[in-house]
Amino acid sequence: MIKVLGIETSCDETAAAVVTDARDILSNEVLSQLDEHRPYGGVVPEVAARAHLDAIGSIISNAMDKSDTSYADLDAVAATGGPGLIGGVLVGVMTAKAIASVHKIPFIAVNHLEGHALTVRLTGDDQGNTIDFPYLLLLVSGGHCQLLIVEGPGQYKRLGTTIDDALGEAFDKSAKMMGLGYPGGPALEKFAKSGDPDRFDLPRPLRKRPGCDFSFSGLKTKVRQQIENFPPGPVTDQDKSDLSASFQKAAGDVLVDRCSNAIAMFRARHPAGNTLVVAGGVAANLELRRRLTELAGQHNLRLIAPPVHLCTDNAAMIAWAGIERLKLGQTDPMDFRPRPRWPLDPDAPRATGAGIKA
Ligand code: KG4
Ligand code: ZN
């Protein structure tokens, strides 16, 4: 059996997990830095890096203890090597390299996006069965919004991406403008539950256009204008709920439209392909999942999503991507340079090229 320690530090979660190739998550420790960033209403990179440094030692010890694993039992250590906030990525990569060299085990630099992309292969379908390649993937997080055909580890065909904001960013910024609390995405979903999705007329950028690209900045701007147009005086909770529900419906309409085009492209390349996967932090949104499940059904596809707690950043997904890489014999050298940017496509160099020396 293969056992890998995974480490995730690319944004505002310090996380460590031990996972096996039998798809068992032996431990999964996640420490969120919500309290550190709440006063600023968003993630402050320098604050995040320091918090990772403070927490990483105890998070890894906890993950090892809870999994009842000793370092000698590990087959490799995998850490997020990018993309992400570079101070945090450096903390994770340096720690993983130190563990790898002391315990003489391979080090694997995992692309954070590959972690999200392969999570469903760890968690499986409703019956626990493995998800095979290929599948169509909608990757929606705080920093990314992409449609990809996933044909294997490292084998991605990108069909479209956002030309401005990521969807999670649009959720977070809209929530902040409405004063819904921090973090914004989950707060907006909660307000939307008791709102009228048809009260506000918000744009659906790029809808009915060809291709699979996204755009969300116009939607975000319209939310701001709507708030400015409210009559003077305090905005009621009902107003906030209605605007949240209208935003979520517009975002859902855009996702459904873009995914429809992507399904046609996926089917042209893989006529027998039957799986649409949604992953990344925004995939935790149950209303968006419902819309995508409906769309998948209309096209004779099934929708697969990781459990909600494995949609947002975690280290189990990094350990799992490490296992998939290790099985292919793909490990990384000790001079791997953490990458603030790291596109998820097969032509991107893995171990060389731009990066920060760790
Ligand atoms: O994948 P993730 O944890 O970090 C990145 O890699 O970016 O995604 C975080 C993003 C944030 O923008 C957050 O607001 C959003 O996912 N998010 C949600 C929900 N839960 C998290 N957006 C909408 N509805 C949710 N329930
Ligand atoms: Zn993420």
pLDDT tens readout for residues 259-294: 999 999 999 999 999 999 999 999 999 999 999 999
Can you state the angle between helices 184-192 and 167-178, rounded to 10 degrees? 70
pLDDT (tens digit, 9 = 90+) per residue, 84-103? 999 999 999 999 999 999 99
Residue with tokens 């626990």: 128
What local confidence, expressed as pLDDT, does residue 355 receive? 57
Atom of ligand 1 nearest to the CA of 169: 12
What local confidence, expressed as pLDDT, does residue 182 receive? 87
Q: Once rounded to an integer, what is the mean pLDDT over residues 15-23? A: 98
Helix intervals (H) in the chain = 34-37, 45-66, 86-103, 112-123, 167-178, 184-192, 217-229, 237-269, 286-298, 316-327
Q: Once rounded to an integer, what is the mean pLDDT over residues 224-251? A: 95
Distance 92 CA to ligand 2 centre (A): 15
Triad 227, 288, 112: Cα angle to 5°: 100
What local confidence, expressed as pLDDT, does residue 28 receive? 98
Give yes or no for residue 324 having a pLDDT over 60.
Answer: yes
Q: Does residue 45 have a cis bond before it (omega within 30 degrees)?
A: no
pLDDT (tens digit, 9 = 90+) per residue, 102-139? 999 999 999 999 999 999 999 999 999 999 999 999 99
Give yes or no for residue 14 having a pLDDT over 70.
Answer: yes
C-alpha–C-alpha distance, residues 91 and 247, integer Å: 36
C-alpha–C-alpha distance, residues 199 and 239, integer Å: 9
Per the model's pLDDT, the better-predicted residue between 283 and 350 turns out to be 283
Atom of ligand 1 nearest to the CA of 184: 14
What local confidence, expressed as pLDDT, does residue 351 receive? 39
Structure tokens that stand for 334 in this block: 């000790």
What local confidence, expressed as pLDDT, does residue 356 receive? 61
* Closest ligand, as measured to the CA of 168: 1
What local confidence, expressed as pLDDT, does residue 357 receive? 59
Give yes or no for residue 53 having a pLDDT over 90.
Answer: yes
Distance 352 CA to ligand 1 centre (A): 30
Give yes or no for residue 348 having a pLDDT over 50.
Answer: no
Give yes or no for residue 354 having a pLDDT over 80.
Answer: no
What local confidence, expressed as pLDDT, does residue 10 receive? 97
Distance 186 CA to ligand 1 centre (A): 8
Pocket of ligand 1 (CB under 6 A): 11, 141-143, 168, 171-172, 183-186, 189, 280-282, 284-285, 312-313
Atom of ligand 1 nearest to the CA of 172: 14
Q: Once rounded to an integer, what is the mean pLDDT over residues 287-308? A: 98
Distance 168 CA to ligand 1 centre (A): 5
Which residue type occupies 209?
Answer: R
What local confidence, expressed as pLDDT, does residue 41 receive? 86
C-alpha–C-alpha distance, residues 27 and 227, integer Å: 44
